[in-house]
């Protein structure tokens, strides 16, 4: 794994690097004292441990720019783990879909637990899940699917690649059974990819391309629980 450690305190950088090397020997570790140095490196990391309070660009801004760069170049999103001495930045961290938020001084046991989970998330990201459509002899990367819509006897698969729509003959039950736990059937006529959600209310869900789909009111509570579970178990959303 490629891992970056960004902190303006040398002792903390060295401590975090040592913990990583102890737990994940063989990892390629780079250490930086500022967010500017991280971004200037131009390197893509699987995991970034990022201090929030630093001179110059703080960790929140560095993370935001890192997310923007990944999106611009279509790169896999980095697993972000913020490290800080105070709790007030937790909501900013959540806005950037941080995988975890560690408080200083870093507890060795907690760090080991978080790193192990983060490594699992990296592995999950690298194992692409595919959907095979027999009637079209077509294989789709599930991460490219925005949502699936039922229209009469056909299904429309709306994808993120140039907003392409693929029509197939299949049932919603059949499609729901093929897709994994990252997808949720929010209405009898819609299945959504939870990683492609930008916002929701008790009547609708908005996807990254701006499309809105119906959310059955009686399913709202169940949907929120499923979506929170998705995020808490390493899912990366666009909300």
pLDDT band at 188 (very low <50, low <70, confident <90, very high): very high
- pLDDT value of residue 75: 52
Burial string for 106-115 (b: 16+ CB within 10 Å, else e) reads: beeeebeebb
d(CA 136, CA 156): 13
- pLDDT value of residue 160: 87
pTM, entire model: 0.55
For each of the domains in the chain, give its residue range(s) and CATH number, in order of start.
2-126 (3.40.50.2300), 130-232 (2.40.50.1020)
Strands lying side by side in the sheet with 212-214? 197-200, 204-207, 212-214
d(CA 59, CA 79): 14
Name the least confident of 56-70, 94-108, 164-178: 94-108
- Mean pLDDT, rounded, for 139-152: 90
- Mean pLDDT, rounded, for 137-161: 89
Q: For the chain, give the percent of residues with pLDDT over 70.
A: 87
- Mean pLDDT, rounded, for 128-141: 75
Residue 119 has pLDDT above 50, yes or no: yes
Residue 177 has pLDDT above 70, yes or no: yes
- pLDDT value of residue 237: 44
On average, the pLDDT of the chain sits at 86
Token pair belonging to 85: 């001495």
- Mean pLDDT, rounded, for 19-27: 94
pLDDT band at 134 (very low <50, low <70, confident <90, very high): low
- Which residues lie closer than 8 Å to 13 by C-beta, 6 or more apart? 5, 6, 7, 31, 33
pLDDT band at 232 (very low <50, low <70, confident <90, very high): confident
- Which residues lie closer than 8 Å to 44 by C-beta, 6 or more apart? 2, 70, 75, 76, 78
Q: For residue 154, how many other CB atoms are within 10 A of its CB?
A: 11
- Which residues lie closer than 8 Å to 237 by C-beta, 6 or more apart? 97, 194, 195, 197, 227, 230, 231
d(CA 178, CA 208): 23
pLDDT band at 40 (very low <50, low <70, confident <90, very high): very high
Show the beta-strand stretches assigned E in the chain. Answer: 2-6, 28-32, 47-51, 79-84, 100-103, 130-133, 138-141, 145-151, 154-159, 165-169, 183-187, 190-193, 197-200, 204-207, 212-214
Name the least confident of 58-72, 84-98, 216-230: 84-98
Question: Is 106 or 93 the better-scoring residue by pLDDT?
Answer: 106
Contact 230, 237 (CB under 8 A): yes
Question: Is 29 or 180 the better-scoring residue by pLDDT?
Answer: 29
Sign of CA dihedral 92, 128, 233, 15: negative
- Which residues lie closer than 8 Å to 73 by C-beta, 6 or more apart? none
- pLDDT value of residue 238: 43
Burial string for 193-220 (b: 16+ CB within 10 Å, else e) reads: bbbbbeebeeeebbbeeebbbebbeebe
């Amino acid at each position: 794994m490629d891992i970056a450690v960004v902190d303006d305190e040398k002792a903390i950088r060295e401590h975090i690097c040592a913990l990583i090397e102890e737990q994940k020997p063989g990892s390629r570790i780079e250490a930086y004292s500022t967010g500017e140095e991280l971004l200037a490196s131009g390197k893509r990391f699987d995991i970034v441990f990022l201090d929030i309070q630093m001179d110059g660009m703080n960790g929140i801004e560095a993370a935001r720019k890192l997310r923007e760069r990944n999106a611009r170049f279509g790169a896999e999103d980095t697993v972000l783990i913020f490290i800080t001495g105070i709790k007030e930045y937790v909501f900013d961290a959540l806005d950037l879909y941080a995988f975890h938020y560690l408080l200083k001084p870093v507890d060795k046991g907690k760090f080991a637990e978080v790193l192990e989970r983060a490594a699992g998330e990296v592995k999950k990201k690298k194992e692409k899940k595919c959907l095979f459509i027999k009637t079209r002899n077509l294989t789709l990367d599930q991460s490219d699917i925005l949502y699936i819509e039922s229209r009469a006897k056909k299904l429309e698969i709306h994808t993120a690649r140039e907003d392409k729509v693929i029509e197939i003959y299949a049932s919603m039950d059949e499609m729901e059974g093929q897709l994994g736990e990252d997808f949720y059937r929010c209405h009898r006529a819609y299945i959504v990819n939870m990683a492609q959600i930008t916002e929701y209310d008790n009547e609708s869900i908005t996807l990254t391309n701006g499309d809105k789909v119906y959310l059955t009111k009686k399913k709202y509570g169940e949907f929120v629980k499923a979506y929170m579970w998705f995020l808490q178990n390493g899912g990366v959303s666009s909300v």
